[in-house]
């Protein structure tokens, strides 16, 4: 999809975005109805929950991999699923609202993937709440609520399950399961996707202090909404804590989602809250065994942790899904998978957590047959990956966007990522079984895609460039460069495995045309005449492709194209590439400038979430965060995987605004500057 130019933009208003900006692990902010609010997500790679400004509400729940055709575009879209954590409380008949409550703060604990809220109802009580998507139970979440009354009060509480309007044939159920630890009361809903192909189910249960469970009432308000409700008298000054556990799952994940949702909720209840929280905390501790430590600049440290936190929240090992540009923060871009994954999120994750990066490639491998069919329908051989992919791997780009039929570099992006995983792990079995089929079929595609000109060179004509403002042009620099590396990596993989590679792979790779202008700068495409560009294209030949290694040429290209980026409408990863390359060229001042320029104007309050473009309003843009993390890891840190799979530390500049930089991978410090 052609991005940014279809978005509406807001005037950038600078407002306070956090109170404790110096904390490297926690962002805390005052909340009111007078300050713009952009929700922040907690996720475990399978389930994402985005916050709301309203007390004890969540804005959106996203379940990875759940698509159906509905809404605009006639393509598969992320489905809204049950918002199963929404809870309403009343104290002496009064509900909390943004106008009447005091001292309302929310905070994000990035260290352990938790969201917190805290407010005061004058003359009645203080209320604290927190929730997390449990990392060890990928379809479950846990909500904790503590009410501390100022005086004797009556607490009324209800967990509400409303069937989203996008779902059909809703069923509402109330089930009470006896156990040795007391009755487990399950509030359960199930519904069908618009086409009827997908079933989604959710189930929740309150968990109360031992021997202090109030009576629960089940109430059906209408055909699409029911709730579990209780009332309890609370004594002045005595805190009362209770919990809500819940699960949401679809037939994409499990053949019998209704029964399994209830099983998962029962399982969580009988695990006990202490064990649930302990296992969740341990899982996040393990994730942060790979960390980036910035010394001397606490705000930059917090921002980098924020980016890492979101990358960790939106990815997961062992899954048959891959993150979309907005991850699990919402339904942006229909939840589709673009080059954003392989070129922008993946390289950072490959260093930080290779086991999570592997899932991104396995997602593509599992859809290789669909890519082969796609190539066949366009008259090519091999495999042609779709520009926008969803559940099945067929092309999901809306027909009005030319990127679907023409943005072909995605095929090479997938292949390059597969080769990089082999380099990082040196796993020959994986190379043989997963990467080689991808590399072989994508190389075959490029052989059928190129055209030989009168000078004996190979051209790639009629494409949409990586700079998507360049439509239906010939010889896009990045597309041609990516095809070169796809062909070369396929030939190298064949050599490692003892396979016979067609000689055409090397012949074509060595003769694909990349043009230059009279000033020596690489020309973005054949008809490029100096116009403004949407995002990095030519500069990607230096990194990540490594085709242009001459530093003078890198400098020449950088100095030219950095002036071609407009002040808005360009995605965050463009400036990240400039920053990375300047850092490797030793220009610390330019590197830090572009590092900050990549995201500071994209930040939205109150949790410093990153929007796609400057002045944009569609967070959280994990693509941009992935690009900026590459700036830190591969630019300031100088990390690079060589052809033998060794992790090198190249000479590069670190910002003078930092007194130190440490990069820790799987508990081992690999960079200290």
Q: Which residues pair with 497 in a beta bridge?
A: none
Q: Percent helix, strand, coil in the chain (nearest 5)? A: 35, 25, 40
Residue 466, φ and ψ in degrees, nearest 5: -60, -35
CA 178 → CA 186, 192, 271, 478, 590, distances in Å?
11, 29, 15, 62, 65
Beta bridge partners of 293: 662
* CB contact at 8 A, 636 and 591: yes
Q: Which of 317, 399, 376 lies closest to 387, judged by CA?
A: 399
**Helical (H) or strand (E) element with 95:** none
Give the span between the Cα atoms of 503 and 99, in whole angstroms: 72
Residue carrying the six token digits 């990375």: 580
CA 81/CA 87 separation, integer angstroms = 16
Is 438 in a helix, a strand, or coil? Answer: helix
Cα–Cα dist 162/343, whole Å? 38
| Residues 373 and 346: beta-carbon distance below 8 Å | no
Q: From the candidates 144, 468, 524, 590, which is the catalytic residue?
A: 468
φ, ψ dihedrals at 6, nearest 5°: -95, 0
Question: Which whole-number Å values give the CA distances from 96 to 92, 151, 349, 371, in the listed order?
Answer: 11, 17, 41, 52
Q: Is 342 a catalytic residue?
A: no
**150 among known catalytic residues:** no
Specify whether the CB–CB gap between 352 and 665 falls below 8 A.
yes
Give the Cα separation of 366 and 580 in Å (integer). 32
The position carrying tokens 């031992």 is 210
* H or E element that contains 177: strand 168-177
Contact assessment for residue 501 and residue 547, using Cβ atoms and an 8 Å cutoff: no
For residue 388, what are its two tokens?
């926008």
* Alpha helices, DSSP H, located in 30-145: none
Active-site residues, by number, are: 468, 612
């Amino acid at each position: 999809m052609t991005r940014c130019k279809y978005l509406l933009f807001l005037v950038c208003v600078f407002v306070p975005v956090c109170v404790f900006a110096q904390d490297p692990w926690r962002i805390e902010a005052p909340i009111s109805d007078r300050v713009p609010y952009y929700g922040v997500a907690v996720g475990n790679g399978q389930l994402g929950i985005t916050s709301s400004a309203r007390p004890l509400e969540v804005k959106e729940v996203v379940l990875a991999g759940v698509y159906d055709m509905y809404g605009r575009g006639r393509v598969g879209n992320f489905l809204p699923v049950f918002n199963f954590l929404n809870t309403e409380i009343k104290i002496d008949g009064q509900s909390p609202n943004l106008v009447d409550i005091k001292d309302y703060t929310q905070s994000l604990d990035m260290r352990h993937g938790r969201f917190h809220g805290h407010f005061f109802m004058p003359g009645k009580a203080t209320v604290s709440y927190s929730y997390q998507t449990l990392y060890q139970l990928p379809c479950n979440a846990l909500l904790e609520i503590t009410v501390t009354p100022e005086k004797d009060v009556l607490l009324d509480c209800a967990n509400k399950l409303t069937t989203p309007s996008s779902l059909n044939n809703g069923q509402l159920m109330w089930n009470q399961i006896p156990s040795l630890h007391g009755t487990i009361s399950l509030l359960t809903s199930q519904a069908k996707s618009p086409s009827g192909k997908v079933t989604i189910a959710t189930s929740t249960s309150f968990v109360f202090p031992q021997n202090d469970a109030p009576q629960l009432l089940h109430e059906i308000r209408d055909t699409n909404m029911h709730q579990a409700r209780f009332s309890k008298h609370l004594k002045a000054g005595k805190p009362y804590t209770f919990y809500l556990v819940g699960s949401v799952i679809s037939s994409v994940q499990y053949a019998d989602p209704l029964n399994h949702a209830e099983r998962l909720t029962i399982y969580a209840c009988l695990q006990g809250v202490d064990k649930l929280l302990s296992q969740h905390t341990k899982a996040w501790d393990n994730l942060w065994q790979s960390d980036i430590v910035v010394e001397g600049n606490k705000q930059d440290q917090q921002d980098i942790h924020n980016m890492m936190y979101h990358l960790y929240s939106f990815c997961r090992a062992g899954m048959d899904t891959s993150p979309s540009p907005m991850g699990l923060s919402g339904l942006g871009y229909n939840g589709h998978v673009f080059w954003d994954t392989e070129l922008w999120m993946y390289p950072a994750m490959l260093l930080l957590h290779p086991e999570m990066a592997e899932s991104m490639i396995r997602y593509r491998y599992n859809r290789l047959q669909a890519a082969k069919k796609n190539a066949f329908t366009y008259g090519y051989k091999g495999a042609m990956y779709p520009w926008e992919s969803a559940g099945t791997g067929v092309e999901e780009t809306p027909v009005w966007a030319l990127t679907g039929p023409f943005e072909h570099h995605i095929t090479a992006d997938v292949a390059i990522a597969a080769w990089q995983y082999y380099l990082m792990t040196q796993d020959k079995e994986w190379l043989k079984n997963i990467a080689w089929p991808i590399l072989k079929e994508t190389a075959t595609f490029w052989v059928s895609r190129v055209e030989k000109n009168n000078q004996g060179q190979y051209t790639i004509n009629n494409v949409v460039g990586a700079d998507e403002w360049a439509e239906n042009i010939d010889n896009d620099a990045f597309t041609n460069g990516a095809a070169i590396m796809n062909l070369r990596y396929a030939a190298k993989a064949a050599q490692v495995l003892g396979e016979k590679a067609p000689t055409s792979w090397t012949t074509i790779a060595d003769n694909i045309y990349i043009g230059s202008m009279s000033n020596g700068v690489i020309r973005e495409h054949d008809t490029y005449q100096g116009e403004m560009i949407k995002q990095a294209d030519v500069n990607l030949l230096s990194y990540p492709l490594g085709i242009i290694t001459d530093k003078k040429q890198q400098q020449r290209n950088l100095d030219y194209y950095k002036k071609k980026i407009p002040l808005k409408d360009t995605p965050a990863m463009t400036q990240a590439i400039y920053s990375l390359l300047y850092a490797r060229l030793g220009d610390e001042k330019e590197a830090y400038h572009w590092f900050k320029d990549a995201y500071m104007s994209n930040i939205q309050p109150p949790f410093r979430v990153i929007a796609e473009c400057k002045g944009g309003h569609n967070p959280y843009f994990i693509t941009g965060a992935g690009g900026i993390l590459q700036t830190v890891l591969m630019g300031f840190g100088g990390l690079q995987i060589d052809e033998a799979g060794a992790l090198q530390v190249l000479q590069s500049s670190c910002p003078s605004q930092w007194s130190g930089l440490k990069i820790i991978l799987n508990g081992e410090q690999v960079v200290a500057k």
